[in-house]
Amino acid sequence: MRYKLLGRNDPTNIIKTVLNNRGIDNYEQYLSIQGSDDTAWENLNNIENAVELFMKHFELRNKIAILVDPDVDGVCSATIMYKYIRCIDEDYPIQLVVHENNKCHGLEEEDYQLDGDVRLFITPDAASNDINQHIRLSRLGIDVLCLDHHQVTADISQSPAIIVNNQNSIAYKNKDCCGATITLEFCRAVDAATWNDFASQFYDLAAVANVADDMSLKTLETRGIIVEGTANVQNKMLQAIISAQEFSMKGIVSPFTIAFYVAPIINAFLRLATKEERELLMDGFIENESQTFEYVKRNKEIVEEDIYEHMVRLMKSYKGKQDRVRDKALKQLFIMADEQSVNKVVIIDVSDILEQAYTGLVAIKLSDYINRPVLLVRQMESGDKFGGSGRAFDNCPITDFRALAEQCPYISLAQGHPSAFGVHVDDINAAISWFNNELKSIDMTREYLVDFDVKSDDVWMRWCLDVEQYKTVFAHGVSAPLWLIRDVVVKGDGAKVVGKSSDTVQFYNDETGVQFVKFKCDEDDELLNAIRNNWDKNDFKINIIGKLGINTYNEEPEAQVIIVDYELQGDNR
């Protein structure tokens, strides 16, 4: 169990210590922010040209097409753009463009159909690097406006498109925001030019998109959007999803609940849905209520669903199917990964194991389980390359796996985010050898960055309440505190193995009343087996890395530590 203590180890002001450790010096300002800077758009490159291009087409009433990239950010970004235009003119001619293939992104693969009278094509959350398509569309008399946040790797000076992208806008300080934020900024700019105030209606969509796209909430701008958006969810499709997840969310809309209960069912749907179903999803998000749907329940009763009920039911159905396929594939992939135990990066051809839609989802689960970066690839139609997904586990010693993959001479494409990206591999074995050589001095063992180093008897209810109070603050980039807790006594006559699958360990500190729990233990888990096989009921000690919080049982709050990792002390090792 490797760990590194951050900061001053001061539990007297937990939230200050945690936020300071995340690089946020003015923690009080961070906590008190209520909204984002509505003039930040002025610092985006090309923003004035973008507004001018939009207004030219809008005033001529030329049809505008909006690309819907097939992820949560793409859906929310397209929804913002569509609904914003309809705020200005509710009858304005718009085409929503949904990819034929749900794994296509941007414009490069030409996997879309434009109406013949489209004159402006807006691509929210996409297409900064698709220069050839910009040129092709320009020759057809179609202007392209990109509102994007992905890294710019192409020579955009050769593009006839207007590209608004925070990554190449030096004066725009927020590099940790998603496509929906850039789309929102564009709408703010149009608001300023037209003396309107419509953009402020769409903070909820931008908030969900930022969380779903794993944007860091360390910046004040993104934090402001999250605070304002989660406090006032207006979009009816989002409201329906949140309502359907009420049992898990318990009325709390926060980065945590969005990340665990809202984004996953939308993403599951987008991975598996047909084009027609994805078009229906957009009907839900743009609040087109013109259709109703008949659904036959198990008892043969026929009920009528509105668009929101219909889409939520489909989302949940696809989420269940996705999880079953994922779990089945992981069992096989764990064995295959174990056969590559000497490799620094695990690369597996999953052509005969996994459909394309599942590769990213399964790759992150596999990487997290084996504590190594992973490339899951399938043979491409050309036959001479493999395409798929790259993922790196949390706290991986390789801070930018995508950039490293891009340097590999046997990888021809690595595009996306530092720890989650699409990849093309020319030679799997050669790539494995290259990574092994490049990373030969790197220890791949996960290193936990802990905020506090304390003794077990020092952990009381008050610390758990302090952490629980700020639960809605923690998110990607501002993670919940990790605690190294030493000398935790596991009582031989009190520790239990519980749960429906008998895979949860539970015990208490008798002095403080704090509950310690570890969920979903594997059959070979040392702690699980130490408790199961403790026939003499002897006490033993462990050191743990865990998260503090409050568990409510029978309406009574209980101080709880969720065990993330641990090490047995002494003879119990």
pLDDT tier for residue 37 given thresholds of 50, 70 and 90: confident
Angle between helices 47-60 and 179-194 (to 10 degrees): 70
Decide if pLDDT at 469 tops 70: yes
Decide if pLDDT at 24 tops 70: yes
3-state secondary structure 346-364: EEEECCCCCCHHHHHHHHH
pLDDT of residue 572: 55
Q: What tens digit of pLDDT does each residue of 215-247 get?
A: 999 999 999 999 999 999 999 999 999 999 999
> Could you tell me what percent of the chain has a pLDDT over 70?
99
What count of residues does the chain have? 573
Q: What tens digit of pLDDT does each residue of 175-218 get?
A: 999 999 999 999 999 999 999 999 999 999 999 999 999 899 99
Give me the torsion for CA of 409, 415, 421, 426, rounded to 10°: -30
Decide if pLDDT at 566 tops 70: yes
Q: What tens digit of pLDDT does each residue of 356-396 get?
A: 889 999 999 999 999 999 999 999 887 789 999 999 998 88
pLDDT of residue 382: 76
Answer yes or no: are the C-beta atoms of 90 and 113 closer than 8 Å.
no
Q: Has this prediction a pTM greater than 0.85?
A: yes
Decide if pLDDT at 573 tops 60: no
Average pLDDT (58-67) is 98
pLDDT of residue 571: 58
pLDDT of residue 110: 80
Find the DSSP H helices in 2-105.
14-21, 27-32, 47-60, 72-88
Answer yes or no: are the C-beta atoms of 161 and 193 closer than 8 Å.
no
- Distance from C-alpha of 397 to C-alpha of 110, rounded to nearest angstrom: 37
pLDDT of residue 386: 94
Which of these ranges, 33-37, 203-207, 479-483, 541-545, has the smallest mean pLDDT?
33-37
Q: How high is the mean pLDDT of the chain?
A: 93
How many CB atoms sit inside 10 A of residue 526's CB?
A: 15
222: amino acid identity, one letter: T
**8-state DSSP, 301:** -
